[in-house]
Structure 1
Amino acid sequence: MRAPSVPLCLPANQPAQFYRGGAAIAALRGANDEPGVPERFGPEDWVASTTALFGRDPDGLSRLPGGPLLRDAVKADPLGWLGRGHVDAFGTSTALLVKLLDAGQRLPVHFHPDNDFARRHFDSHFGKTEAWIVIGTTGEHPTVYAGFREALTAKTVREWVSEQDAPTMLDALNAVPVSPGDTVHIPAGLPHAIGEGVFVVELQQPTDFSLTLEWRDFLGDEARGHLGLGFETALRALDRTAWDEARLSTLRRHPAAAPEPVVDLLAPGARPYFRADRLRPGTPLALDPSFAVLVVVEGEGTLRSGDGSAWAMSTGDTWLVPHAAGELELAGAVTVLRCRPPATGS
């Protein structure tokens, strides 16, 4: 099963979740008039996913045209899908998961383990550092939450979790107003939540390790909050330090007004984990060979290969580009988010 030498347009892939959302994904994909929308369009669309939901394999895995799992296809031909440099650095993992995430309600306060913690407790090479690219908002005060405003003791956090004191946990976080085009890097360990009405493209390491402080009204089961580790162990992965405005500024960028055809969207701290560029080709734009996920957020354009083959793309499309597709050219009045694994050597 060799990797194709052409980009592939992928359908929606939305495993069942515990929270509401999905209308913004349906609107982006132009599916509002279809039966069962937005119910069929859940709050998360896992794009080109080789990652299964925690404890729910194969839910979350993407299938290629004809039915095979992308995970199996990549393992069968990692060089074709990923390229030699990537395979030498990261093996047969894509090292990336991309999601469309539409928060139809506020998400719970939670955090993710880093690579070392994930290796010790989940036998995984990857933890779950992530980043958000805000592509839409609704409501008067769209907000995300990141980092504790004051340093906390382990005893204090354990008490909040034991009592499920949700208002106090949320109030302890920095409330960060966001607008379309803003980006936020979320390092592993950082407590965070996404507010109702915030629609993001999320890049993350390819795992589903979410440790949920505020589990009662969302998960209904304490064990799902700590993923079977027990909170005494899980809380060792939590960043309890204080994040003031100066520290938070290192995680945030506001590149919406940047005029360049290629704009690096994420804060520098995200580069060892993934890359994201906004592409707006005024003239045809060359894209170097790379495994990539392309999310078309606005307009219409064309991808073209060196042999003259062309693929039309439009708002709401999600494209998977194998390394074997080689150099491509992007043209048209289109805005595309190009999401990629970390560069070799990161």
Structure 2
Amino acid sequence: MDTTAVPLPLPANQPRQFYRGGGSIAELRGTDGAAEYGPEDWVASTTSRFGFAESGLSPLPDGLLLRDAVQRNPQEWLGAEHIAAFGDSTALLVKLLDAGQRLPVHCHPSDRFARQHLGSRFGKTEAWIVVGTAGADPVVYLGFREDVDAATVARWVGTQDSSTMLGALNRIPVRPGDTVHVPAGTPHAIGPGVFLVELQQPTDFSITLEWEGFLSGAEAAFLGLDQETALHTLNRSGLGDATLAELITRTGDRGGARIPLLAESAVPFFRAERLQPGGGIELEPSFGVLIALSGHGRLDWSDGSLPLHRGATIVIPHAAEPVRLVGDCTLVHCRPPAPQL
């Protein structure tokens, strides 16, 4: 099977989740109907769901899994510098996430915790790019407002005191163009009606503090670890206004052909820009993911081109250079961290 690395359009890839949503993904992509439990579209994913062999992996148009294509031809897909830093991992997971209901309070492990307890070089730092909202009061929740001791957290989790856990978090109203960096260990939740492009390290590791009403039971909440061990990765420190200001970026009113989207603290983990190419933008060589939010345009490279339209998702290999975007359209361009970081 041909594994030549060229830019390729990707179909929706929505493995069933435990929470509702997916209507905004269907509307963006222009498809009929939405799976009630399809709130996540894993775009250009080489990551499988925790506990599954292939669920979550993205197929290419010819049926080959992107994971397998990259492993067979890492030099073309990723480039030599990336491989030297990250091996044959893309070092990136991108999702469209449409919260049809509030997500539970949860957090993700750090790289150090993942190496020690989960056998992975990657934890799960993530970032959210808000691309749509619905309802009167779209919000996300990020970090505890005040320091919380370990015994208090253990009691909240043990008794499943959902209202207290949620009430202890910073409640942040959001609108399209807002971005939020979520460092590993930070407790968080996403409110109903918030539609995101989500960048993550390439794992499916979640420590679910609020599992009642969401998961089958406590045994599904901690990645196979005991509660005490799992909660060691939780950041129990309060996040004040100064820290939140460093994690949250408001970009909705910014114009220009290329708008950096993420906080400086997110750059060691992933990169993202909003692109409005007009007469043309050339992309530097890199593995990347394009998500078209509006309009029409075209992606050109040395020996081919692809049309761009609202809802299109495209994976770009390093070897496709030079890649040029043209057209009256708005896109989000997601990339792994620069290899030197």
TM range (shorter): over 0.9
Measured in 1, the distance between the counterparts of 2:129 and 2:145 equals 23
> Pick from 215, 218, 235: which aligns with 1:239?
235
Change beyond 3 A, Cα 1:255–1:148: same
How far off is 1:230 after superposition? 0.9
1:133-172 Cα shifts (integer Å, max 9, x gaps): 0000000110000000010000000000000000000000
Q: CA deviation at 1:41?
A: 7.4
The one-letter amino acid of 2:168's match is A
Q: Deviations over 1:236-261 (max 9, x none)?
A: 00000011111101100011121221
C-alpha distance in 2 between matches for 1:214 and 1:41 = 19
Residues 256-265 or 313-322, more deviating: 256-265
Counterpart residue identity of residue 315, structure 2: L
Whether the aligned pair in 2 keeps the contact of 1:8 and 1:319 (CA below 8 Å) is yes
Q: Which one of 165, 169, 181 corresponds to residue 169 of structure 1?
A: 165
- In the TM superposition, what whole-angstrom CA distance separates every residue of 1:204-231 from its partner, at most 9, and x where no partner exists? 0000000000001100210111111011
- For 2:8, the equivalent position in structure 1 comes to 8
* Rounded Cα–Cα distance in structure 1 between residues aligned with 2:264 and 2:158: 36
In the alignment, does 2:295 pair up with 1:299?
yes
Counterpart code for 2:331: V
- Shift in Å, 1:73: 1.1
Q: Which one of 172, 190, 197 corresponds to residue 193 of structure 2?
A: 197
1:177-188 → structure 2 map (5 Å cutoff): 177-188=173-184
C-alpha separation in 1, matches of 2:239 and 2:2: 47
The alpha carbon displacement at 1:3 in A equals 4.3
Mapped to 2, the partners of 1:24 and 1:218 lie a distance apart of 21
Task: Tell me if 1:343 matches 2:338.
Answer: yes
Matching of residues 1-346 of structure 1 within 5 Å: 3-31=3-31, 34=32, 37-39=33-35, 42-307=38-303, 309-346=304-341
Which stretch shows the higher mean deviation, 332-341 or 4-13?
4-13
Aligned residues: 341
Residue pair 1:2, 1:76 contacting (<8 A) in 2 also: no
Q: TM-score, with normalisation over the residues of structure 1?
A: 0.97
**Cα RMSD over matched residues?**
1.1
Which letter does structure 1 place at the counterpart of 2:314?
A: W
Q: Can you list the C-alpha shifts for 1:147-206, whole angstroms capped at 9, x where unaligned?
A: 000100000000000000000000000000000010000000000000000000000000
Matched AA of 2:330? T
* Contact 2:20-2:36 within 8 A present in 1 as well: no
Structure 1 residues 259 and 83, CA gap change in structure 2 (3 angstroms): same
- Quick check: 2:19–2:37 contact (8 Å CA) kept in 1? no
Q: Distance in 2 between matches of 1:282 and 1:256?
A: 18
SS of residue in 1 equivalent to 2:278? coil
Decide whether the 8 Å contact of 1:303 with 1:312 is kept in 2. Answer: yes
- Once the two structures are superposed, residues 251-288 of structure 1 have per-residue CA deviations (whole angstroms, 9 ceiling, x without a partner) of 00011121221111000010110000111113211111
Separation in structure 2 between the aligned mates of residue 132 and residue 89 of structure 1, nearest angstrom: 24
Q: Could you tell me how far 1:69 is from its partner in structure 2?
A: 1.2
The CA deviation at 1:40 is 6.8
Give secondary structure in 1 for the equivalent of 2:221: helix
Moved over 6 A (4+): none
Task: Give the aligned residue type for 2:74.
Answer: P
Does the CA-based 8 Å contact 1:147-1:242 persist in structure 2?
yes
Report the TM-score when normalising by structure 2: 0.98
Note the residue ranges of structure 1 that are not aligned, 5 or more in a row. none
